[in-house]
Amino acid sequence: MSFIRDNELIFASQTRNLKRNNERLSAVFKKLSNMLIFPTILILFSAIFSFAIVSGSSMNDTLQDQDYILVNKLTRDYDRNDVVIIKKDTEDFDIIKRVVGCPGDTVLIQNGKLYINGKISKSDTHGNSDMDYPGIANNPVKLGDGDYFVLGDNRNHSEDSRYEIVGVVKKEEIIGKAFLRLFPTTKWL
């Protein structure tokens, strides 16, 4: 009898110790997980999104100088009228422009108007004036696979695809799609 009672006491003591150790271990894991949640969210957020600050007036009236915007870096398909951030090897900084021509399109600028595939672009509602300078689009520009033609909304004050320094933009040069102006006022793009 005594032997069974001693074993029960030892077992009960071990069970209490095991329970205390599990509680301590659980508390440590909870603290660690709480400490890791914010950095994990931050890493995931920075892998998907980035912030950009508009510099200059080339996107007026849609975006102003010093506007803060949020960019989706996961988007890999771009459509006409998307506002994109571009990294060109010819520039020391990223540029922000609007997609007006997509792969397979033929772009032409004549008499200040944008033509896509031989027709005046009806979707070009963001440009705030006729274009004084057609640049490389003075002649038809046929866009290949993964090629985009971009313009600033402030057409006559924008260095964009019309200029050889920017030219036709390759899909690989597009960092992402701007979709939200954060500051000074929040506005979906």
Residues with a known catalytic role: 58, 97
CB-based burial of residue 174 (10 Å sphere; 0-12 exposed, 13-18 middle, 19+ buried)? buried
